[in-house]
Structure 1
């Protein structure tokens, strides 16, 4: 039986690569892709997802429009890193029409997919968690019917990439992150900012990856040109003591999902993790949006999450190569 996935994105170059990984796996069925404001506007996210599906010859996969703004927070985007359109401001005169976007809203699509496949669907979120927060408020029983949830977001050591202490996806909608980590009680796996930095790949792999010279690798090379230049700049390195190199943050969450055997409690991709209860700070002057790990059991939460620590990087590289063949 194929693994059934719903992918929630704010595409984003690394979201694009995450989608491509899922589509390259023969034992994975992508039920649908839901889109959320984040790296760029939800309108651009929809366009970007359709561009990825076109390059992968998978425009049969339904795409859904989700939330266009955070629940409470001021809207922020990552235009300084990914470009104003999220894809490096690389024009595509032959991009698919937005007429392909489904009429059904993203939140209802998630509910319907899960209800039609109870206990079978894994949800992978590589975006601010707005869509997921709205979904669980519409259907509070949703998480009991999900097989698992995989998230790229948050942090473990108060090292931020957007604020001093906050990672982008959680800072972009702290209330949504709080709701999701509070109300989704299915098995939950989180790829945090510090984790992706410590497991980043050398830039030499990036050059090797693009040297495949396929239509897909050339697509990723073009849309990632701005973010690569930014990541290799002295300014970025000076403000990032973790020493990230080629870091496709969202792809780690997807790699964990497609290699998961939830029933057997096995994941060949994750080699080390820590299980702990978590929440999100909503009120701190400097710490709003920061994920908090409860090692002292002060939260009295029954539900814990798995925080990824180390992964099989050789497997990861192989998956990235297969994704652009």
Structure 2
């Protein structure tokens, strides 16, 4: 446990930038899943490592060790860093827990307030009489389908065929539940600071996912690119956009020029056999990072469990000796 417990805390510093490079070569929906699952796995392993550091130090305290009928010195020689590391782990876990809970509460509050401001809808569409061109996908409650919120100014800025693209884009966000990806990214970033760098690329790939879905729905990639570009230009012309929840996505968010360029370019073949050697090396590095993080966390947990079992056996042996002496 001496070395293994630290690896899950350090691996995200390398794995996060590697994951960004891997995702850049994948199809948008695959990239979004890759980034989200990678962040979740790394956050889980790092949190588990902090928990083991806290437990290892806590068991060195006589009152806590007594709860398991063992004595601290039965756990073996105490390393000088055990108690300080335990204190720091406790602080990090407390800070992470508070940050995650506050983030979750803010997400729910923002969505609740946004839904409260939404008036009568025509199907899944709510048109807000506002002079700022904007549009976004507002997730519904659990089991709900959500609402496309669009301003009257945005509808005036786009011709009819480009409005269809806009609506298809926002419906893709709602149907694929993209806000859950963003929520997971925000919560994992609360558990490990290095995972914050995955949010921006995740937003980009989620927008690209919706772009590709819209292009497939209308059957015209150039029309989709034109609609996304025109909507973004209209939105940039005004700075009076109402506040919107941090979990909602819209056609005008993210690096729009890159998205338009991707739509105007031929779709990239993302089959592993077509990937270059450099990309395969990077992908292998990401898998290695995940494997090392998971294996190290399990190894440290097994070591801690073995130490506690040995201490309990030591306690049992002392109990048997005491009974023998009494007789």
Query: Please, what TM-score do these two structures have when normalized by structure 2?
Result: 0.22
Query: Please, what TM-score do these two structures have when normalized by structure 1?
Result: 0.22
**Which structure: greater helix fraction?**
2
